[in-house]
Amino acid sequence: MNNKIKLAVAGAVLASASVANAGITWDAGEWTVDMNGNVNAFAIMADNNDNNSAQGALTNANGGNDPDAASINTGLFPAWLGFTATTRQNNLDTSVTISFQPGASVTGGL
């Protein structure tokens, strides 16, 4: 089995794996605080040793100076880090959520 097929199979296995989820909960006085999030990113490796070029196709991100290219991109949904705090005061449930959705996009030499 050649290396390109092995890399394609490994990429398919990794792509079908579920995203990494995390959740940590702790008490802060009368408040319950939850930190949660996920990482949703994938890597693209391109080996462009062939001199044939396709018109209108995706090209090497570094201008074609290097036949090999690599990048890390965010998947369909963004990665996120969230904080949620909940409490019960005067017979009312109160909750506050703050979340960040950073992009994970790197192109070039890795």
Predicted TM-score (pTM) above 0.85: no
* pLDDT by residue, tens only, the chain of 110 residues: 566 676 666 666 555 555 555 578 889 899 999 998 887 877 877 776 665 555 555 555 555 555 677 777 777 777 888 999 999 999 999 999 999 888 766 665 54
Instruction: Kindly tell me the sign of the dihedral angle through the C-alpha atoms of 86, 87, 89, 91.
Output: positive
Q: What is the pLDDT of residue 83?
A: 94
Q: Residue 72: its pLDDT value, please?
A: 78
